[in-house]
Every structure is written in structure tokens, then in C-alpha cells.
Amino acid sequence: MLTLVLVSLVPFIYTIYMSVHEVKYGRIGDFHWFANYASVLADPRFWNSLKVAGVFILIAVPIEFMLGLVGALVLNQRIAGRRFIVPLLFIPTMMAPIVVALLWKIMLAGSWGLLSYNILERFDLVSNTSVFASPDLALYTLIFIDVWQWTPFMMLAFYAGLQALPINPYMAAAVDGANSVQVLFRLTLPMLTPLLVVIGMLRLIDAFKIFDSIFVLTGGGPGIVTESPSILAYKMTFEYWKIGEASALAVMVWITFFLFCNVFYQVAKKRLSAF
């Protein structure tokens, strides 16, 4: 508790304090009420960053969720070589996001990257440039990289949940003559719902906060095509020295997710009996 207070609560309270003050060049000035919040809300880049985060979440998380669930169901069928497959699935998830970003930056670099040279240029998808410099492809490439890294995590989490399910309901279903589709939708998914809800919520929050891979691969560019709220807050703080506005942005993001998590919890509790 002491660690959480020192490294989380105290900085957050200080961020709220700065968000309602004029902060120039690192010095806190006069009390500004909600001027910083109004400035952020009036900035088109703020709304663009929310759009980028929204597109990222709406594409990446459902793909990771579905592929992870399907993969977990396949692993749960006692397939050959499972003891070797499961440890391999840990590799992308264990890698630091910075390392993952550097790995894909090399493989998709310009005209000499392993994948860009052998696939993208050979099939005329991209020529004489990097996908990270393409306004049309940069964001979707980042989504692909996120799916590559986090689908194994979802798969392993769901697989662990499947392994922990009780066997008696399945024995009763077999006696009653239930087929595999009925077992999946009437037994497996309902019993797995609490895990599905929690993992899904965690990935939604984590995907919204994405920073590392965007910072390394595109820096929010080209232009502001891949500028997420985290990247925008970083630029406002360390490039433009708009610390007050950046603090207001951080507080608004926190409030948004606080409300989202509460609504998500209530819906999952009442409608899905997940908690």
C-alpha cells in the first residue's frame, strides 16, 4: 500500500494540481480553474488522438480476443506437441514492447527489410518507402504488430481458464447427448465468462494507453496519423512544454476510464454474472 501511494497516488494528485494551474517551463503559476481542460478540448489533435485510439482498440482487441479464444480451444484438445507449443507462445508476450518495435522496424524497414523486400515490394503493396511512412498503412501496421504480440497472451490466459474448468458439467452433458457446439455455447463460454470479461477489459485499457511501439516506429506520424493520447501527452510535455494541458489530458483520460470501468463492471455483473 505504501508503494502504491508513493509511486501512483501522490504523482496523480500532483498531476491534478498542475492541471488547474498555469505551468510554464516547469514552473507552476496562477490558479487557472479549468482553462487547461478547455484548451485541450478545443485542440483538434486531442480529438484526433482519441480517434486513433478508438480505431486501434476496435480493430486490435477483437482480433486478439477471437484468435486467442480459438487458439485456446484448439490447445485444449490435447493436440500433439502441446508441451512445446505453449512455451513458444510465451516469447512474443515476454519481449519488451521496445524490443518488439525494433524487431518489426528492421523487418519492415524501407526497401531492404526482410518482409518489406520479400513481400510488400514484390507484390507492389509498398514501393520505395516504409509502411510506417504511409498515411494509409502506418496505423494498420501498428495494429498488426500489437496483434502479433498480444494474441499469444490472450491465448494462454484463456487456455489456463479452460484447464481450470470443472469436469463434472461436461460429464453430465455427455450423458445427456450434447454435441460439441452445444457444449461450447452452453457450458464452456458461460463458465469462462468471468475470465473473458476481465482479460478483455485489461486489454482494452492497455491498448488505449499504447505508447512504446508507436514512439519507436512512427513517433505519432506521418503527421498525426498514429498519434495516440499517450504520444500526444508526451509531446505536449517534453516538446511543447505545455505541462498544464498535458496534465489536464492525463486527468481526462483517467476520468474516462474510471467511468468506463465502472459501467463495464456493472454491466458484466448484472447481465453476464461475471463478478
Contacting residues for 9 by C-beta, under 8 A, at least 6 apart: none
Whole-number pLDDT of residue 260? 84
- Cβ atoms of 35 and 29 within 8 Å: the answer is no
What is the pTM assigned to this prediction?
0.88
Based on its alpha-carbon atoms, the radius of gyration of the chain, rounded to whole angstroms, reads 22
Please, what are the domains in the chain? 44-238 (1.10.3720.10)
Whole-number pLDDT of residue 44? 94
The continuous run of DSSP H or E covering 98 comes out as: helix 97-107
Task: Give the Cα separation of 258 and 28 in Å (integer).
Answer: 27
Backbone phi and psi for residue 29, each to the nearest 5 degrees, phi listed first: -105, -135
Whole-number pLDDT of residue 268? 76
Least Cα distance to 49 among 204, 236, 258 occurs for 236
For the purposes of burial, counting CB atoms within 10 Å of the CB of 39, is it exposed (0-12), middle (13-18) or buried (19 or more)? Answer: middle
Whole-number pLDDT of residue 88? 85
pLDDT in tens, 190-237: 899 888 888 988 899 899 989 999 999 999 989 899 999 999 999 998
The SS3 call for residue 65 is: helix
Residue recorded with cell 476496435: 58
Backbone phi and psi for residue 272, each to the nearest 5 degrees, phi listed first: -110, -5
Residue recorded with cell 518495435: 101
Where the chain has pLDDT below 70, the residues are 124-125, 127-128, 272-275
Whole-number pLDDT of residue 267? 80
Whole-number pLDDT of residue 154? 93
